[in-house]
Amino acid sequence: MTALIPFNQLSAEQARALLAPCVAIPHWVEQLVAERPYASRGALLDKARTLAAGWGEAELAQALSAHPRIGEKPQTTGGHAEFSRREQSAVDDNDARLTQALKEGNARYEARFGRVFLIRAKGRSGEEILAALERRLNNGDAEELRETLAQLVEITLLRLEGVISE
């Protein structure tokens, strides 16, 4: 956790390292670092959201390389994986039925859309995630891309809010 003033004063390399675990989209990290200094935390978050509003399929593909499937504990350590583990903590992996249902749902989703199912897991129970997965399986391609990008923005901004304090 870094306060805004020190963030403004970090070297570009240090600032990039701090923001990188928020999302695996280097261009977004680079833009946010380049726009320093920010007058307030709110200005930083607004800029982050504005830049993320421009994301499309290419950015989504980059980001998904760092997002483990829902219900699968990340295999790696550090940055992204640590965030993912915490975000998915409400998914009770001792619930065999739920774990199996998520595994099957993820497979159906990937067969249908050709990419990993992405949802902002923080604040959602495993059951709520499974219900969203079942619902979104019925989305058209364009609608599901829009919904997925919106979830990616939510995950990214939640992580950024956790990295930069007032």
> Where along the sequence are the contacts to ligand 2AL (CB under 6 A)?
67-70, 84, 87-88, 116-122, 155
Q: Which is nearer to ligand 2AL, 38 or 144 (CB)?
A: 144
Q: If we measure between CA atoms, which residue out of 83, 51, 89 comes closest to residue 67?
A: 83
| DSSP three-state, residue 54 | coil
- At closest approach, how far in Å is the CB of 21 from ligand 2AL? 11
Residues 139 and 39: their CA atoms lie apart, in Å, by 40
Who contacts 78 (Cβ-Cβ below 8 Å, separation ≥6)? 21
Q: Is 84 in contact with 68 (CB distance < 8 Å)?
A: yes
- At closest approach, how far in Å is the CB of 97 from ligand 2AL? 20
Q: Which is nearer to ligand 2AL, 4 or 91 (CB)?
A: 91
Q: Which is nearer to ligand 2AL, 4 or 29 (CB)?
A: 29
The secondary structure of 138-160 as a DSSP string is TS-HHHHHHHHHHHHHHHHHHHH
Q: Which is nearer to ligand 2AL, 55 or 117 (CB)?
A: 117
- At closest approach, how far in Å is the CB of 29 from ligand 2AL? 17
- At closest approach, how far in Å is the CB of 30 from ligand 2AL? 22
